[in-house]
Amino acid sequence: MSTAIRASSILPGRREDIELHTADGLTLVGELARPLDREPVGTLICLHPLPTHGGMMDSHVFRKAAWRLPALADLAVLRFNTRGTSSVRGTSEGAFDNADGERFDVAAAIEYAEFHELPNIWLVGWSFGTDLALKHGCDPAVTGAILLSPPLRFSAPEDLAVWAESGRPLTALVPEFDDYLRPEEARRRFAAIPQAEVVGVDGAKHLWVGDAETVLDEIVRRVAPAVPLPLPTTWDGPMETGDVSSYADRTVAAFADTPVPGPAQRSAE
């Protein structure tokens, strides 16, 4: 009997707590989720939103990716807390460094994926995490990047130039009512990367509340194009239920400065 896939649904997979070790001597906490009984066809390295405003490895889109995509799309999902960031998994060593020292965090995650022979590595950044991908993620081991709600706050023109020269695929999913960068302006600014694809998502907002399924479909469309879309909304096999109550009062991405006017953003679950 089919069961609806909900925000708290955990589909079958192999999940293990992991540690990443940075070149500047820090230990970061994370998790690797893989398909239960087969090898993954691709790998997502998740770079979370701004940790000073609630972003972490369990920010809701990434949590849902880890709980669903190993079963629905044969993807491995590696998520971790950047330096100084806390979640139920624990707290990574170090302190938030305004996207500078975090270069070691991104490198450690890519190195972990390489060492464990995870295939077809894609970076998936969200808000602050998009700046980490743009600044520090254009690595020879990386196939491409998917950016969710990119604010282009910490990224510099030279970072975009590196991606442009690499030719690696880059997709920006930009909410129609984003607080910081909306589709028209995003297309103008990402024109510096000829291969960049900017996808405006109608009705969506910066935190993607209510639109996580759209995001997951767009990620799978690029990383595992053989998987039929849209992804299923029901599951016929065993399913566990995760506790999402720990994050009911946490936002996942907002900056402290004044956002672009637009509809109010609901709280993330």
pLDDT in tens, the chain (269 residues): 799 999 999 999 999 999 999 999 999 999 999 999 999 999 999 999 999 999 999 999 999 999 999 999 999 999 999 999 999 999 999 999 999 999 999 999 999 999 999 999 999 999 999 999 999 999 999 999 999 999 999 999 999 999 999 999 999 999 999 999 999 999 999 999 999 999 999 999 999 999 999 999 999 999 999 999 999 999 999 999 998 876 655 544 444 444 545 444 444 43
230 located within any domain = no
Chain centroid to CA 29: how far? Answer: 16
244 located within any domain = no
Gap between the Cα atoms of 239 and 218, Å rounded: 24
247 located within any domain = no
List, in sequence order, every beta strand (DSSP E) within the chain: 3-4, 9-10, 14-21, 27-34, 42-47, 75-80, 86-87, 90-91, 121-126, 142-148, 170-177, 196-205, 234-235, 240-241
Q: Which domain holds residue 154?
A: 18-224
Number of alpha carbons in the 13 Å side-chain half-sphere of residue 22: 21
237 located within any domain = no
Gap between the Cα atoms of 8 and 16, Å rounded: 18
SS3 of residue 121 by DSSP: strand
55 located within any domain = yes
Number of compact structural domains in the chain: 1
CATH of the domain at 166: 3.40.50.1820
254 located within any domain = no
Q: Model's pTM, two decimal places?
A: 0.93
165 located within any domain = yes
Residue given tokens 């070691």 in the structure block: 104
SS3 of residue 212 by DSSP: helix
Judge whether 116 and 33 are in contact, CB under 8 Å. no
Number of alpha carbons in the 13 Å side-chain half-sphere of residue 190: 28
